[in-house]
Amino acid sequence: MPRSKKLRIAMIGAGGRALAAHYPALHDIRRAQLVAVSDLDEARLHKACDQYQIKGRYTDYRQMLEREKPDAVYAIMPPHHLYDIAATVIEHGCHLLIEKPPAVTTEQVRQLALLAKRHNVLTGVAFQRRFAPVIRRGKALCHKRGPIHTAHASFYKNWVGGAPYYKGAMDMLTCDGIHAVDTLRYLCGGEVESVASDSRRLDADHWNIHLAMVRFSSGATGLLLNNFMAGRRMFSVEIHSPGISFFGDPEEGGQLFADNRTDPVQELDPRALARSDADYRAFGAYDLNRHFVDCLLKEKKPETHFDDAVKTMELVDAVYGSQI
> Of the candidates 249, 21, 13, 274, which has an alpha carbon nearest to the alpha carbon of residue 126?
21
Q: What is the reported pLDDT for 220?
A: 98
Written out in words, the top-level CATH class of the domain with range 129-276+306-321 is alpha beta
Full-model pTM:
0.96
| Tens digit of each residue's pLDDT (9 = 90 or more) over 131-189 | 999 999 999 999 999 999 999 999 999 999 999 999 999 999 999 999 999 999 999 99
* Axis crossing angle, helix 61-68 with helix 83-91, rounded to the nearest 10: 20
Note the pLDDT of residue 1: 62
CATH (one of 3.40.50.720, 3.40.50.300, 1.10.150.120, 3.60.130.10) for 7-128: 3.40.50.720
Given a contact cutoff of 8 angstroms between Cβ atoms, the answer to whether 313 and 108 are in contact is no
Mean pLDDT of 249-268: 98
Q: Which residues contact 220 (CB under 8 A, 6 or more apart)?
A: 147, 148, 149, 150, 151, 187, 188, 189, 190
Residues 6+ apart with CB under 8 A from 179: 100, 127, 129, 155, 235
Q: How far is it, in rounded angstroms, from Cα 237 to Cα 244?
A: 14
* Host H or E run for residue 5: none
β-bridge partners, 7: 32
Q: Using CA atoms, how far apart are residues 103 and 178, in angstroms rounded to an integer? A: 11
Write down the pLDDT at residue 5: 84
HSE, side-chain direction, 13 A CA sphere, residue 230: 14
Q: 279 pLDDT band (50/70/90 cuts)? A: very high
Average pLDDT, the chain: 97
Please tell me the distance from the alpha carbon of residue 284 to that of residue 4, in angstroms, as a whole number: 26
Per-residue pLDDT at 245: 98
pLDDT, tens digit, for every residue of 282-291? Answer: 999 999 999 9
Question: From residue 254, how far is each of 59, 165, 198, 246 by CA, in Å?
Answer: 43, 30, 28, 7
Decide if pLDDT at 78 tops 80: yes
Domain ranges of the chain: 7-128, 129-276+306-321
Q: Per residue in 107-135, pLDDT tens? A: 999 999 999 999 999 999 999 999 999 99
